[in-house]
A and B are shown apart, each in its own frame.
Chain A
Amino acid sequence: MINTNKEYDIVVVGAGPGGSAVAKKCAEAGLKVVMLEKRQEIGAPKRCAEGLTFSAEKIIGKIPEKCISQNIDTGMVHAPNGKCIEINFGDSGGYVLERKVFDKWLAARASRAGAYVQAKTEVKDVIKENGFVTGVKAEFEGEEFEIKAKIVVAADGVESTVARKAGLDTTNQIVNVDSGFQYEMSNLKLRDIHCLDIFMGNKVAPRGYIWIFPKGEDTANVGIGIATAEKTAKYYLDKFIENNPQIFKDAGIIEVNSGGIPVGGFLDNMVLNGLIVVGDAAHQVNPIHGGGLKEATFGGQIAGDIIIEALKKGDVSQRGLSEYNKIWWKERGNFLKKVQKLREVVEKLSDNDLNMLAEALSGEDIVNFTRGNKILKLGKVLIKNPRLITLAKKLF
């Protein structure tokens, strides 16, 4: 059990990919680290479609077999009229993970590096002294206790209450959060188990899309992420399933998931005196596909480096930690902001526009756009259609 008399260097709140990345990095540098997770099981239930590109391994490290459900090499984007764009990922393919196993593996790695990890322990508030965050108030099995630390890391995911309680407003604007809903399904008739299927269209998934991410021969995450609409995300997904018996007839539901997906609203400032925010809590997500595993890990590692430096210098003030903002924006923020612009354009496309784009674009183009490359070409296609000129202008 946790030693409350010990002075820790850092308390990490939340044992998701972001929290585990900070905890591992800091523990490896010899810092005294504690990571608290309020759920009784790290990683469960998932709030995730579990997709991850191979390239993320450069940041996360080699992912063990036990965390991987399926290898992916292609993507198929279905336009509203049924026209498809096939995207061959080649070397840039990826995995559909098993998040429960993956998140526990990450937390165990942090623990092995020397961090003390404890589940079923909820952080209820931060402790503030003389304008500095100096620890947290937590609860385990009904007992409340305090933990003092030089820096508190808010890695508490989309809820992001820790930073807000400390006085940093991380409330997400509703235009920057998608509403996500998903079934993990069994006994499906999958077309290709190495292919991610994406279905677009304003009737199917208004200002968003539906995904089928295979996890095995006949199992997959079937989900939807949409901007707020007339009806709920669940309503649109249920309708899609009903309308596609060729895939879903006699399929079972083996898990139900939902979640808010940050898709923008990046924060200029992610630090206070003694506090640093990472991952979903700081809206560090790729806005075009809502992927946050890699971003949270990246943010967590940058935060780790900054914390190690700050403690060496003995300066945990907002100024001392603000290098985090600078580096994150340089490494990720500026790029992700471009991707957000692209997303804002895609969101405004009508079904006709989407059909036209499916005619005009190749799979390779799509890969380029999501990486923020060759946006000019997209601009050229958009400009051919007078209705889209105003949208195209947004990209430049």
Chain B
Amino acid sequence: MWEIDKKKCLRCGGCVSVCPKLALELKEFGLSHDKNLCIECGLCEKICPVGAIKVKKND
């Protein structure tokens, strides 16, 4: 499960740079996430400077 707290996100693109699946993109009105591409690796959560992303691996 991938979740974002849009109120915290500063649209900096840090998460986009490390996403191995190109599941994240910075759009005009915020971060977009493609759950079909996401493998829930958690790298975006690790890099986010403000803790806006939470990733939980679905078993």
A residues in contact (CB < 8 Å) with B: 38, 45, 47, 120, 122, 157-161, 164-165, 171-174, 177, 179-181, 228, 232-235, 256-260, 262
Q: Is the CB of A258 within 8 A of B22?
A: no
B18 near A159: Cβ-Cβ < 8 Å: no
Give the nearest-CB partner of B19 in chain A.
A171
B30 contacts across to A, CB distance below 8 A: none
Partner among B25, B27, B46, B50 whose Cβ is within 8 Å of the Cβ of A258: B50
Please measure, in the bound complex, the distance between the C-alpha atom of A122 and the C-alpha atom of B28, giving whole angstroms.
8
Chain B minimum-CB-distance residue to A226: B49
Which residues of A have CB within 8 Å of B47?
Answer: 174, 177, 179, 228, 260
Tell me the minimal C-beta distance from B34 to chain A in angstroms: 12
* B residues in contact with A120, CB < 8 Å: 28
Q: Which residues does chain B contribute within 8 Å of A259, judged by CB atoms?
A: 12-14, 49
CA distance A108 to B26 in the complex (A): 25
Q: Considering the chains assembled together, what is the distance between the CA atoms of A354 and B20 in angstroms?
A: 34
Q: Which B residues lie within 8 Å of A165 (CB)? A: 22
Do A122 and B17 contact each other (CB < 8 Å), given the known contacts A179-B49, A256-B10, A257-B10? no
Q: For A260, give its contact among B14, B27, B28 (CB under 8 Å).
A: B14
**Chain B residues, CB < 8 A from A172:** 17-18
Can you report 7 A-B residue pairs in the complex whose CB atoms are below 8 A from each other?
A: A38-B28, A157-B13, A174-B46, A179-B14, A233-B50, A258-B49, A262-B17
Complex Cα gap A120–B27 (Å): 11
Q: Mark B40-59, 1 if CB is under 8 A from A, else 0.
A: 00010011111100000000
A234 to B48 alpha-carbon distance, docked (Å) = 9
Residues of A within 8 A of B48 (CB): 179, 232
Closest 8 CB pairs of A and B: A260-B14, A233-B49, A181-B49, A258-B49, A159-B13, A258-B12, A159-B16, A232-B51
- Shortest distance in angstroms between A126's beta carbon and chain B's nearest beta carbon? 13
Q: CA A258 – CA B17 in complex, angstroms?
A: 13
**A-B contacts besides A122-B28, A158-B16, A232-B50, 13 pairs, CB < 8 Å:** A47-B12, A158-B13, A158-B17, A159-B16, A160-B17, A171-B18, A172-B17, A179-B47, A180-B12, A180-B14, A232-B48, A258-B49, A260-B18
Chain B residues with CB below 8 A from A234, complex form:
49-51
Contact with A174, one of B13, B18, B28, B51 (Cβ below 8 angstroms): B18
Residues of A within 8 A of B46 (CB): 174, 228
Please tell me if the beta carbons of A174 and B49 are within 8 angstroms of each other in the complex. Answer: no
Q: What residues on B are CB-neighbors of A158 within 8 Å?
A: 13-14, 16-17
A180 to B14, CA, bound (A): 9
Q: Are the C-beta atoms of A180 and B16 separated by less than 8 Å?
A: no
Query: Given the complex of chains A and B, what is the CA–CA distance between A258 and B16 in angstroms?
Result: 13
- Contact partner of A159 among B10, B20, B25, B43, CB < 8 A? B25
- B21 vs chain A, min Cβ distance (A): 9
Separation of A248 and B22 alpha carbons in the complex (Å): 39
Tell whether, in the assembled complex, residue B10 and residue A260 are in contact, meaning their CB atoms are under 8 Å apart: no
A257-B12 contact given A171-B19, A171-B20, CB 8 Å threshold: yes
Interface centre among B13, B25, B28, B48, by most chain A C-beta atoms within 10 angstroms, is B13
| A171-B17 contact, Cβ under 8 Å, with A180-B49, A232-B51 | yes
B50, A177: Cβ atoms closer than 8 Å? no
| Residues on the A chain within 8 Å of B51, using CB | 232, 234-235
Closest chain B residue to A179 by CB distance? B49
Closest to A165 in B: B22
Per the bound structure, the CA–CA distance linking A38 and B11 in Å amounts to 13
Contact between chains at A260 and B12 (CB < 8 Å): yes
CA distance A161 to B23 in the complex (A): 10
Task: Report the Cα distance A161→B17, complex, angstroms.
Answer: 8
Residues of chain A within 8 A of B19, CB atoms compared: 171
Of all chain B residues, the one with the shortest Cβ separation from A172 is B17
Of A122, A171, A235, most buried by chain B (CB within 10 Å of CB) is: A171
Q: Note all chain B residues with C-beta closer than 8 A to A174.
A: 18, 43, 46-47
- Docked Cα-Cα span, A260 to B43, in Å, equals 12
CB of B12, distance to nearest CB on chain A (Å): 4
- Looking at the assembled complex, report how far the CB atom of B32 sits from the nearest CB atom of chain A, in whole angstroms: 11
